[in-house]
A and B are shown apart, each in its own frame.
Chain A
Amino acid sequence: MSAAIEIAGLSKQYSVGFWRKRPRIALQPLHMEVQRGEVFGYLGHNGAGKTTTLKLLMGLIFPTAGSARVLNLDIGDPAMKERIGFLPEQPYFYDYLTAPELLTYFAQLSGINAGNRERRVRTALIRVGLRGIDRLQLRKFSKGMLQRVGLAQAILHDPEVVILDEPMSGLDPIGRREVRDLIQSLKDDGKTILFSTHILSDAESLCDRVAVLQKGRLRVVGRVSELTASVQGRMEVTWRDAPAEALGGLAVENRAGGDCIRSVVLEAELDAALQALRRARGRLISVTPIRRSLEQYFLEQGDTETNLGRDNEPRLQFQTSETPPFDTERIAELAK
């Protein structure tokens, strides 16, 4: 069986400038495959070309060169769209409609027959966690609610391939977890999911494989663990009721704030650190993994070309993920 998405040399070049047209390359010739049933993360910084790629796949813009096939159908083929769902970046909808009206309209266009429409619309709304909004016009929706409507319309017609452009953006932490659960449940149903993000941890918790795009060029394709394996993991341990020296040489960095002390330790030495804390009768408050941002990853690869030092955006050295993946029970047990 062919791959779900096959991209062969797809590239996009814009011409910008009013008088003298200069080319602006949004996407270098891209070769990539997404297998059926896979959750595939498409990573890259702002302006890397993620949205460009996804819009090319959806036929919203046309490639300068190259071609792509989805479910063995050419991307120009309208039949493809019956089997694919798409969430655009920062989606916006007909604001004079209510969410059920909008979804019903899309259901009609997707050829869902009249008998099933109502049920499909209901299910989709429940799946994205929208309730009690049946009479509210979309112009009165918040950003996160619109994002959820966008997700609902992408899964409404039960597509085999779902393409999501930054599905977590604009959502609160609970919303982000719900989206993660949604993607997981789509995967369990055997769907193929391709989604873009610039947050490594989002991809890490979900994806079978990821591709990293940088300045329009594909850098790597592989498992997240392979990507991050070369990078030493670190943990932030927060505790109280024990002196700052309790961890001794294990702490890479110590910081006190309020009653608490926060120390950064290497992931490999976490157990030792927690034991030291127990001996000192400290009270453990939290353990949070600290992850590298994509940029850190590139920097550690020692690739000069990927060095983004030229632009003067503030650079995050570390990025703390929001939810500690550690189960609290284990922490409590260790802290005893």
Chain B
Amino acid sequence: MIRRVLYIAHNTFREAVRDRVLYNLVIFALLMIGAAILFGQISVGIERIVIINLGLSAMSIFGALIAMFIGIGLVSKEIEKRTLYTLLAHPVRRWEFIAGKFAGLAGTLAVNACLMGMGVYAALWYVAHRLTSGDVSLLGAMYCIVLQLVIITAVALLFSSFASPVMAAVYTFALFVIGSFDQDLHAFAGLAHGATRWLAMAAAYAVPNFASLNFISSAAHGIGAGPKLLALNSAYAAVYCVTALAGATAVFERRNLK
């Protein structure tokens, strides 16, 4: 059972690699090299902040794009191309397929982020010629970026299990944008009254809270997220993913393949 999920995950990873998804790393590397050379020459003191902000933002944006574009295609593309027919003709349960696809893409994103993380550290080392203990706090911020990407993947999978690829992309993107302003939605709920208040509250909790997973600027100023916060965020991401995947499975289990 778990083995089949892993086989599917492995194949999904292999697909991403062969479809040259990891080529985004080339652009990322060029960006880091350019920034390091540029800011290493002209400025004193802020080059560290610039590199971290730039590097982590790029990590987050590239990752989100990959998660959305591949995530929404994961299920619909297999149905569209009918590659799923032969897969499901083997002893694979439908939930195993969903779980495997998710794990495969989450793994791809994690590997991608790891490599990018190394790039950020290399750039930091290049401009400062040393790494400080404060740089360790970057790891926490990077980990939270991966959590965000994993949530986006789960959401994209959920939408792609019932909507057409284009609509799934629109929904996922919308949720991503709203999620980034989730703090404001909470604040709005606090101010509103009556039914609006409850609606806003419900929306604020239903939408993934990307804002509170974002530690980029605090990391740039050398403030790390504490272990307790990291643990809480991990739990949040886990609950969110499991719920989204359970939804995706529930829809997909009943679906007729065209």
Contact = CB atoms under 8 A, between A and B. Distances in A.
A12 B86 CA distance: 21
A153 interface: yes
B254 A109 contact: no
Interface in A92-141: 92-94, 96-97, 105-106, 108-111
For chain B, the bracket of interface size reads 20 to 34
Contacts of B91: 78-79, 81-82, 109-111
A108 B7 contact: yes
A37 to B, nearest CB: 22
Nearest to A93: B83
A298 interface: no
Interface stretch (B11-19, B142-150, B183-191): B11-19
B88 A96 contact: no
A60 B83 contact: no
Contact of B11 (A78, A82, A94, A111): A94
Interface in B1-33: 3-4, 7-8, 11, 14-15, 18-19
Contacts of A91: 82, 85-86
A81 B90 contact: yes
A96 B93 CA distance: 23
Contacts of A62: 254, 256
B81 interface: yes
Contact of B85 (A60, A79, A81, A97): A60
B88 A61 contact: no
A164 to B, nearest CB: 11
A282 interface: no
Contacts of B14: 96-97
Contact of B86 (A59, A78, A93): A93
Interface string A12-56: 000000000000000000000000000000000000000000010
Contacts of A85: 89
A105 B88 contact: no
A94 B14 CA distance: 11
Contacts, number: 71
B15 to A, nearest CB: 6
Contacts of A106: 86-87, 90
A105 B81 CA distance: 18
A203 to B, nearest CB: 23
A239 interface: no
A86 interface: yes
B92 interface: yes
A167 interface: no
A141 to B, nearest CB: 13
Interface string B47-83: 0000000000000000000000000000000000111
B44 interface: no
Candidate in B15, B86, B91, B254 with the most chain A CB atoms within 10 angstroms? B86
Contacts of A109: 4, 7-8, 87, 90-92
A54 to B, nearest CB: 10
B257 interface: yes
Contacts of B19: 96
Classify the secondary structure of B's interface with A.
helix
Interface string A164-189: 00000000000000000000000000
Interface string A218-233: 0000000000000000
B236 to A, nearest CB: 33
Interface string A54-93: 0100111110000000000000001101101110101111
A81 B254 CA distance: 18
Contact of A94 (B15, B85, B88, B256): B15
B257 A60 contact: yes
A216 interface: no
A150 interface: yes
A290 to B, nearest CB: 36
A10 B91 CA distance: 22
Given A60-B85, A61-B257, A91-B85, A96 B90 contact: no
Interface string A254-277: 000000000000000000000000
A94 B4 contact: no
B83 A92 contact: yes
Contacts of A82: 91
Contacts of A96: 14-15, 18-19
A84 B256 CA distance: 20
B195 to A, nearest CB: 32
B13 to A, nearest CB: 12
Contacts of B254: 62
15 contacts: A60-B89, A79-B91, A92-B81, A92-B82, A93-B86, A94-B83, A96-B14, A96-B19, A105-B11, A106-B90, A108-B7, A109-B8, A109-B87, A110-B90, A150-B86
Q: What are the 3 A-B residue pairs with the smallest beta carbon separation, nearest first?
A: A86-B89, A96-B18, A61-B256
